[in-house]
Amino acid sequence: MKTVILAGGMGTRLAEETGTKPKPMVEIGGKPILWHIMKLYSHFGHSEFYIALGYRGEIIKSYFLDYYALSGNVTIDMRRGGAVWHENDCEDWTVHCFDTGIETLTGSRIKRLQTHLAGGTFLATYGDGVSNVDIASLLSFHRKVGKIATVTAVRPPARFGGLVVEDDLVTDFTEKPDTGEGWINGGFMVFEPEVFDLLRWNGSSLETDGLEALSRENQLAAYKHEGFWQCMDNLRELKMLEELCRRDETPWMVWKNPNTSQKAA
The domains of the chain are located at 2-249
- Compute φ and ψ for 25, nearest 5 degrees: -95, 0
First to last CA, the chain: 9
Of 109, 100, 138, residue with least CA distance to 196: 109
**Does 23 have pLDDT greater than 70?**
yes
**For residue 36, which of 125, 129, 122, 123 has the smallest C-alpha distance?**
129
Task: Write out the E strands in 38-160.
Answer: 48-53, 73-77, 82-86, 94-99, 122-126, 129-131, 149-154
Would you say 88 and 70 are in contact if contact means Cβ atoms under 8 Å apart? no
Mean pLDDT (whole number) for 173-180: 57
> How high does pLDDT run on average in the chain?
90
State the pLDDT at residue 41.
98
- Lowest-confidence pick of 51-65, 70-84, 176-190: 176-190
CATH 3.90.550.10 fits 2-249, yes or no: yes
49-58, 227-236, 252-261: segment of lowest average pLDDT? 252-261
Are 53 and 8 in contact by the 8 Å Cβ rule? The answer is: yes
pLDDT digits (tens, 9 = 90+) for 107-146: 999 999 999 997 899 999 999 999 999 999 999 999 999 9
- Triad 151, 206, 262: Cα angle to 5°: 35
pLDDT of 87: 75
pTM of the entire structure? 0.88
